[in-house]
Chain A
Amino acid sequence: MRRFLSLALLCFLLLGITLNAQAQSTDAASSSTNDAAALELLEALDVESYTAKGEAITAILQSDDERARDWLQALLDGRLQRTEDGRFVLVLENRGRDWPVADVLTGEALGEMSRRDLERIGINNNLRNQLRSAIAVVDLYSLNVERRRTSAERLLGEVDGELVPTLDDLIAQEEDEQVRYRLTQAVAIYRAEAGEMAGVEALDGSLHPRSRVALSRAANGDDPVVANAAAASLSGIEQQLKINRGLETLYFGLSLGSVLVLAAIGLAITFGVMGVINMAHGELMMLGAYTTWAMQQLLPGQPGLALILSIPAGFMVAALAGVAIERGVIQFLKGRPLETLLATFGISLILQQLVRTVISPLNRTVITPEWMSGSLVVNDALSLTLNRMYVLGFALVVFAGLMLIMRRTRLGLEVRAVTQNRAMARSMGIRATRVDIMTFALGSGVAGLAGVALSQLTNVGPNLGQNYIIDSFMVVVFGGVGNLWGTLVAGLSLGVINQVLEPWAGAVLAKIIVLVFIILFIQKRPRGLFPQKGRAAEG
């Protein structure tokens, strides 16, 4: 890869001036002669062998055609395609059955074409790498700062001796701080690997993995002075990395914890406050997730909007299902926990099979909106995944909302009154049955919300609920039945404990250790972390 890059760059530099000149003045006469040559260049791409395709890419890069970058980008994106009559077209949009296309050579729009009539020029991973490097080389001279940044980052660890002088020149001319920093680093990595002191010094404190590799090579070099310096800055970097790794694990733990909290908090209301063991809680989450899927089907092309709309929709669907379960089954089994458990378990199986038969036994695709994918880069060694950050935030908002409802609204007051002393509450004029329905609907609705969030993290399929039901009960029991704060603290701390144990014990063992820990804990404190106090607890 490195050899290719420097070769490509050298070729490009020789041609760079003519290319810029041409970009400014293109007359009709020269473009038609260009098109013949261009067609030949593109023809070379339409071959079976990937090695031949690689050579064709190099040829395109070496050509002085100003459209080279666009072609390479189109090839990389899989948008460079060929029609049945051998014309090269650029696919502008590849959703649905008919795609709008434009002629690659003239840029003329050709209307929509059926995807059956188009043949994509395929690439493999090696070519993908080659294309990215090629585009990076072109982009180094781009007027667009973003492109220069990506390009400079790509060069880290891919620089060799021939490139260094050119890069030094570029650094001197570069105006953007970030690009300059990356280019300096890229050169320093080369120097450090070559055993130069300057390189090692420049890399001090850099957290980028390529820098670390370069430094560890320098630390094994011949020159003892350089080797010692490299070893010293390596140990400093390792120290930094340890801190970052700790922060990362904490984030992982909080994120897993937030999923647990979301899954458990609805249960904390139905089981914790009302005392109903609802084994179909997981399936209510599944309904929420399927609502998200259905919303995205209703609003094709707008996954973000669909996701936001499915927050209220998921809540409503699950809440209504909850009301149906409460009215249909649970109200007749009041005070008979074992029967309730069996009946709701039956409901959970029915709901699962219903989804399997009505929708499909296969998982459904829920698209993650653009703004939720990828990660937030804190530094070279620490980046936080966005989808999980949103879920963490969502969990906290849901928790705060529930707290508000329970503490500040009439409904919350009535719920607390009914659960503390049903007879007394009724004699004060509270309609206990209505409160039961509302409470169960609230708990179920929150399960629906959890389902909406989970659709962004895991499979949306008939088994979604099963995977979370045990964990949910675990969190509620560990936190202390009837206490929302307990659920929050228990969920987050179990998440962190699990993630701290995982790298050390492995995923399977970590889960077992957490379970054993909870069993021991419940032996010692049967009422969980935050037991309810006072007379209410005795009832």
Chain B
Amino acid sequence: MNTLKRSTHPQRFLSSGRFATALLTAAVMGASAPAFAQDDDPIKVGILHSLSGTMAISETVLKDTVEMLIEQQNEAGGLLGRQLEAVVVDPASNWPLFAERARELLAQEEVDVIFGNWTSVSRKAVLPVVEELNGLLFYPVQYEGEESSENVFYTGAAPNQQAIPAVEYLINEVGIERFALVGTDYVYPRTTNRILEAFLKDEHGIAEEDIMVNYTPFGHSDWQNIVAEIRRFGEEGKPTAVISTVNGDANVPFYTELSNQGIDAADIPVIAFSVGEQELTGIDTGPLVGHLAAWNYFMSVDNDDNYDFIDAWIEYTGDDMAVTNDPMEAHYIGFNMWAEAVRKAGTTDVDTVKDAIIGVTVPNLSGGYAAMMPNHHITKPVLIGEIQDNGQFDIVWQTPSTVAGDAWSDYLPGSRDLIADWRKPMECGNFNVVNGSCGGSTAAEEAEAALAE
């Protein structure tokens, strides 16, 4: 915290011997110099991604992505004339450990910003820590919504930026009338499926018997019965689709079983929210051609910025076959937004950056722009891709313009009346528009509830 305090408390700053130097520098550099020229210590960027344990498969590449972005930024002259320095910790796919590591980053390492987390439960665990120590966390993964913290910026998709448009695509473009919601048994699939069920019933009049919901444990490997059930569910004469929120490792046996039981994408398409290029590297995609995924970015996006990013990534990893994916793009956007906000604010001070970042707009990798909204979510295009036999996605549909992330779903009874707006004077993550009151932070309770599961 010391670096932060030095710059935020003028008395202490004045008393420090550096003041004279700062004045001199300011005089030499003229108006272009920031008002408070800070010391030359590097700006510390914390990276909180699991490098071991079950989530290492997904999170390791995100750590590499941030490191690559830092390297690029340093080559371009750093930020505010200072170099950036990565501080990497390994929370080892252990949720309570995420909170400890976050505390370590903020209290001991005194990082200026954290990029991290993958699973929702790990984010919930970190929430009270970043709020207590007033940190900045950029969270890059699509998630279930129903949350908006003053200290967290959600650069992944909220349900209205992924799940809802995907279902509308299935109904309007493919003509699906029956839905099997299949997911891994934890908070993200359960909340998403709750929203989708409400959405299907209320907005599209889908009957109860045309919706099947099924949950499986983490790493589930025996899909025979569930796939047989899906097959029977789809044999009732109505066009059927599977909406999959199956996470990580369990996808490979799931897709293998689908193709072995002869379920073709043209008969029963599976649309997945957690399967990207990274996950497909472990699967022989030949039998999966035509199954779908909904994301805000695909590696196959035809755009020069994207090709530059891919080239840089291949060069950085030294692997010709390295793939890029949606959460990587989210970090790319988040990192650039933070850098832009720091430039705008002229300081890395958390409170100033937090205010400055709202409204910041940076290019995304699909040829458009991402803007930070007052609810700490960003605008994103929604893309639907079909799996190809080379492990890539062929984009078959996309929203005409970007969609702003909605922290609180419009389709759930409790959350319908809530909005988040972190600008003054509201400064609230869960403002109830009906009774006009702010619910306040519930980070501690949420963390406790998530970790208890």
User: Which of B1-9, B109-117, B216-224, B442-450 forms part of the interface with chain A?
Assistant: B216-224
Question: Is B256 an interface residue, CB under 8 A from the partner?
Answer: yes
Partner of A353, one of B52, B60, B256: B52
Q: Indicate if A16 sits at the interface (CB-CB under 8 A).
A: no
Give the Cβ gap from B221 to chain A, nearest Cβ, in Å: 4
Whether A527 sits at the interface, judged by CB under 8 Å, is: no
Check B56 against A356 for contact (C-beta < 8 Å): yes
A89 to B228, CA, bound (A): 40
Interface membership of A460, Cβ < 8 A: yes
Determine whether the beta carbon of B284 is less than 8 Å from that of A129: no
Among residues of A, the one whose C-beta sits closest to the C-beta of B214 is A506
Does B236 lie within 8 Å of A364, measured CB to CB? Answer: no
Task: Flag if B225 contacts A364 (CB, 8 Å).
Answer: no
**Which B229-244 residues have a C-beta within 8 angstroms of A?**
229, 235-237
- Do the beta carbons of A212 and B217 come within 8 Å of each other? no
Task: Give the nearest-CB partner of A248 in chain B.
Answer: B228
* Chain A CB within 8 A of B434 CB: no
Is there an interface contact between B57 and A368, defined as CB atoms closer than 8 Å? no
Q: Which residue of A lies closest to B262 (CB)?
A: A375
Q: Is the pair A50, B396 in contact by a Cβ cutoff of 8 Å?
A: yes
| Residue in contact with B266 in the complex, picked from A129, A217, A256, A362, CB distance below 8 Å | A129
Whether a CB of chain B sits under 8 angstroms from the CB of A346 is: no
Residue of A nearest to B291 (CB): A125
Cross-chain contact B235 with A213 (CB below 8 angstroms)? yes
Inter-chain contacts of A204 with B (CB < 8 A): none
User: Which residue in A132, A356, A365, A507 is a CB contact (below 8 Å) of B52?
Assistant: A356
The reply on B336 being an interface residue by CB < 8 A is no
* Contact of B284 with A368 in the complex, beta carbons under 8 Å: yes
| Closest residue of B by beta carbon distance from A364 | B282
Q: Is the CB of A78 within 8 A of B389?
A: yes
Chain A residues, CB < 8 A from B349: none
Contacts A122-B394, A129-B266, A365-B282 given; indicate if A373 touches B224 (C-beta within 8 A). no
Residue interface mask A448-475, B partner, CB < 8 A = 1: 0000000001111111000100000000
Q: Which residues of A contact B221 (CB under 8 A)?
A: 457-459, 467
Nearest CB of chain A from residue B271's CB, rounded to whole Å: 11
A252-B228 CB under 8 A given contacts A259-B222, A508-B216: yes
Residue of A nearest to B231 (CB): A209
Q: Are B260 and A125 in contact (CB under 8 A)?
A: no
Do B249 and A363 have beta carbons less than 8 Å apart?
Answer: yes
Contact with A along B379-397 (1 / 0, CB 8 A): 0000000101110001010
How distant is the Cα of A217 from the Cα of B238 in the complex, in angstroms? 13
Contact A213 B237 (CB under 8 A): yes
Question: In the assembled complex, which residues on chain B have CB atoms less than 8 Å from the CB atom of A34?
Answer: none
Residues on B with C-beta less than 8 A from A165 are none
> How many A residues, CB 8 Å from partner?
55
Binary per-residue interface labels of chain B (260-284) against chain A in the complex, 1 for a CB within 8 Å, 0 otherwise = 1110011001000000001001111
Q: Main SS of chain A's interface residues?
A: helix
- What residues of B have a CB within 8 angstroms of the CB of A374 in the complex? 260, 262
**How far, in whole Å, are A124 and B271 apart by their CA atoms in the complex?**
13
Q: How far is the CA of A213 from the CA of B278 in the complex (A)?
A: 40
Contact of B249 among A50, A94, A210, A459 (CB under 8 A): A459
Q: Is B54 part of the binding interface, using a Cβ–Cβ cutoff of 8 Å? A: yes
Out of B224, B237, B278, B284, name the residue touching A388 (CB < 8 Å).
B224
CA of A502 to CA of B388 in the docked complex: distance in angstroms? 32
Task: Tell whether B104 is near chain A: CB-to-CB under 8 Å.
Answer: no
Q: Which of B51, B224, B237, B284 contacts A367 (CB 8 A)?
A: B284
User: Contact: A252 with B224, CB < 8 Å?
Assistant: yes
Instruction: Kindly list chain A residues whose C-beta atoms are within 8 Å of the C-beta of B292.
Output: 125
The contact of B282 among A78, A217, A362, A383, by CB within 8 Å, is A362
> Are A387 and B260 touching (Cβ within 8 A)?
yes
Q: Tell me if A125 and B253 are in contact (CB < 8 A).
A: no
Q: In the complex, what residue of chain A is closest to B224 when comparing beta carbons?
A: A252
B249 in contact with A461 (CB, 8 Å)? yes
Q: Within 8 Å CB of B51, what residues of A? A: 361
Q: In the bound complex, do residue B57 and residue A461 qualify as a contact, i.e. CB atoms below 8 Å apart? A: yes
Determine if B145 is an interface residue (Cβ-Cβ < 8 Å). no
Chain A residue at smallest Cβ distance from B222: A256
- Contact of A511 with B217 at beta-carbon distance under 8 Å, contacts A129-B266, A502-B225 already known: yes
Given that A252-B224, A356-B56, A457-B221 are known contacts, is A128 also in contact with B282, CB under 8 Å in the complex? no
In the complex, which residues of chain A have a beta carbon less than 8 angstroms from the beta carbon of B52? 353, 356
Is residue B289 contacting chain A, with contact meaning CB distance below 8 A? yes
Contact (Cβ within 8 A) A499 B284: no
Which of these, A129, A373, A386, contacts B287 with CB under 8 Å? A373
* Bound-state Cα–Cα, A255 to B329, Å: 41
Bound together, the chains give a CA A139 to CA B219 distance in angstroms of 43
A361-393 contact mask (Cβ, 8 Å, vs B): 1 or 0: 111111110000111000000010111100000
Q: Is the CB–CB distance between A255 and B256 below 8 Å?
A: no
Q: Is the CB of B224 within 8 A of A125?
A: no
- Which of B57, B217, B235, B386 contacts A362, CB < 8 Å? B57
Residues of A within 8 A of B107 (CB): none
- Contact status B215-A363, CB under 8 Å: no
Per a CB cutoff under 8 Å, which of B252, B260, B390 touches A458?
B252
What are the 3 A-B residue pairs with the smallest beta carbon separation, nearest first? A363-B282, A209-B235, A213-B237
A to B CB contacts below 8 Å, 14 in the list: A78-B389, A124-B290, A129-B266, A217-B237, A256-B222, A363-B252, A365-B282, A373-B260, A457-B221, A457-B256, A459-B252, A463-B249, A502-B225, A507-B214
In addition to A356-B56, A506-B215, 18 A-B residue pairs with Cβ atoms within 8 Å of each other are A125-B386, A128-B290, A252-B228, A353-B52, A362-B278, A365-B282, A368-B256, A383-B261, A387-B260, A388-B224, A459-B252, A502-B226, A503-B229, A506-B214, A507-B216, A508-B185, A508-B215, A511-B217
